[in-house]
């Protein structure tokens, strides 16, 4: 049917899906999902531009906002919630706004994605001109997301669209558009499948690259990981030990004094200083320059 976004089309390859034997069914679904990564690879240049744009805003004191509904909103919340424990960021540096509010994380709230006024209200008072806003909608037509981006762009925020539909209102609303050509789903219209997988890959790439550029990573190590449980405490100890060569007792003592901060503990050991001195030094120097 004309006028429908690509995500609403019917896929010839999956015709007769309900008639397939279980092994054939699983093989088809996995094969279709594999196309998500290929779709993201077509957008790496635009993704890189988005990373640089967001980094510029965050370095100047701005924040990053995600806006989505349904699956897209849940993926946005997931990515935002991973930033503090993975990179030690303040909880409000990366914010997620989902149509229908927190209740929509577990329960589908019908009509929430169509509420343009709610999308605008989600941005009003929360988004500033120095921020970046990423709107996510597979069809590109969720009015909650479109209105949020339109409001954010009008006040001067950087706006980025992540969608699978190039001729969509979301693309028109955004300064930068990452259009993922995922096409029709194996289960027609179910964008939690291939389109959702492509969104997850895109968000993983976007947020990780941003944090690398912000100095939250040394080599390929999570040096700003927050040791909030036993597993992460063990990881923090391994990181400090690997980067300094210090023994277990010294590593544990430094981490305790550094209140769990890997970077601070590493500088304490490498430079023979206390936690306060190490924190002060890290405000003006990168970890790489101090090792």
- Residues marked active site are found at 82, 113
Name the CA radius of gyration of the chain, rounded.
22
Length of the chain: 291
Task: Give me 240's structure tokens.
Answer: 């400090």
Q: Are 80 and 95 in contact (CB under 8 A)?
A: yes
Which of 167, 179, 177, 111 lies closest to 144, judged by CA? 111
Pick the closest to residue 95 from 140, 127, 141 (CA basis).
127
Q: Which two tokens stand for residue 45?
A: 């240049």
Q: Where are the alpha helices (DSSP H) in the chain?
A: 22-33, 35-41, 44-59, 70-87, 116-123, 143-154, 169-173, 194-213, 230-244, 248-257, 262-271, 275-282, 287-290
CA atoms within 13 A on the CB side of 243: 30
């Amino acid at each position: 049917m004309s006028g429908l976004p690509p995500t609403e089309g019917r896929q010839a390859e999956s015709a007769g899906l309900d008639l397939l034997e279980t092994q054939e069914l699983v093989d088809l679904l996995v094969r279709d999902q594999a196309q998500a990564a290929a779709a993201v690879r077509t957008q790496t240049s635009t993704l890189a531009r988005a990373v640089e744009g967001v980094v510029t805003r965050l370095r100047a004191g701005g924040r990053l906002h995600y806006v989505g509904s349904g699956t897209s909103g849940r993926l946005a919340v997931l990515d935002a919630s991973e930033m503090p424990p993975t990179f030690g960021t303040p909880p409000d540096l990366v914010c997620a706004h989902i149509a229908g509010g927190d209740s929509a994380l577990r329960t589908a709230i019908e009509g929430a994605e169509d509420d343009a006024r709610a999308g605008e209200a989600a941005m009003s008072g929360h988004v500033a001109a120095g921020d970046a806003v990423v709107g996510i909608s597979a069809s590109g037509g969720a009015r909650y997301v479109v209105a949020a981006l339109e409001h954010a762009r009008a006040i001067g925020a950087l706006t980025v669209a992540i969608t699978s539909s190039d001729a969509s209102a979301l693309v028109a609303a955004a300064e930068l558009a990452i259009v993922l050509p995922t096409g029709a789903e194996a289960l027609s219209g179910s964008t939690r499948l291939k389109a959702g997988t492509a969104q997850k890959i895109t968000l993983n790439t976007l947020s990780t690259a941003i944090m690398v550029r912000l100095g939250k990573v040394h080599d390929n190590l999570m040096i700003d990981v927050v040791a909030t449980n036993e597993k992460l405490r063990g990881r923090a100890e391994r990181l400090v030990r690997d980067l300094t060569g210090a023994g277990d007792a010294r590593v544990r003592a430094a981490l305790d004094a550094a209140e769990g901060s890997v970077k601070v503990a590493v500088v304490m050991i490498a430079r023979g200083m206390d936690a306060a001195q190490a924190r002060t030094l890290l405000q003006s120097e990168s970890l790489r320059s101090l090792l």
